[in-house]
Amino acid sequence: MQTRQTTFEPDAHVPLYRQIKEALRSGILDGRYPPHSRMPSESELQGMFEVSRITIRQALGDLQKEGLIFKVHGKGSFVSQPKAVQNITSLQGFAEAMSGEGHEVVNRVVSFNFVPADAEVAARLKLDEGTTVAEIQRVRLLNREPTSYEVTFLPEALGRKLVRADLAARDIFLILENDCGIALGSADLGIAAVPARAPVTRALEIKRDAPVLRVERLTHDSDNRPVDFEYLYFKGDTFQYRLRVERKRPAKSRGKG
């Protein structure tokens, strides 16, 4: 699908390549160029906008830097799959956050077992090593694409309450709050890039050792008691966390009298 030709002002304050970039960017964001579709060739864009090839290349280069397009050698430029974004300034479950942005979320339950807690899980949940905990493994599909693989651990008593819960359709956070009467308070997160291993590779349909975003999340109730510890593995090309931080101003030192 081609963008309709736009007339640009040669002496405008905004450079021509940037005006073209914005026109193409709008076409990508409003769906005229859908994900994975091929963009018009450089020569086609030259004819559409009546500018030089170098101007077109500057515009496409900027779109590539923004992650909106990717190039395939010998085939041209293609529209990237847009990343879903979750703001982590507030504590939300995946489906809760994504549904609010208009995305479709489906959960596929891989397993639900009661297992002995290893040293890491026990320490996070403040239990003795070997204590029985619930282990829930799920694949989260975003807009019908596998996006994350999640391994959730809960104390046994809480896990027993989730055995009959609809984990294929509901966030665990909402089940804990609405069905179990637990007021969630805060969460500690650790984020790192790691190579994918089975079963993550199978679930997310990626190659072994492909980079994935791993989030370790320990959630506390309103009394600061740990209730939920998770390993969340995200495909890096489909999802990102976003956080806004404020600059903490140093206190002004008092002058000596």
Per-residue model confidence (pLDDT) at position 130: 97
Report the pLDDT value the prediction gives residue 3, as an integer from 0 to 100: 45
Rg (Cα) of the chain, in Å, rounded? 24
The CATH class for the domain spanning 84-242 reads alpha beta
| Domain definitions of the chain by residue range | 16-79, 84-242
| Pair of tokens at residue 30 | 């409003």
Question: Residue 167: which residues within 8 A CB-CB, separation 6 or more?
Answer: 107, 109, 112, 136, 138, 175
CATH of the structural domain 16-79, one choice from 1.10.260.40, 1.10.10.10, 3.40.50.920, 3.40.50.300? 1.10.10.10
- State residue 69's pLDDT score: 83
Residue 53, classified by CB atoms within 10 Å of its CB into exposed (0-12), middle (13-18) or buried (19+), is exposed
Q: Consecutive 10-residue runs of the chain (257 residues): their mean pLDDT?
A: 52 82 84 86 91 92 81 84 57 58 75 97 97 95 82 96 91 90 90 90 90 90 95 76 65 58
Q: pTM here?
A: 0.63
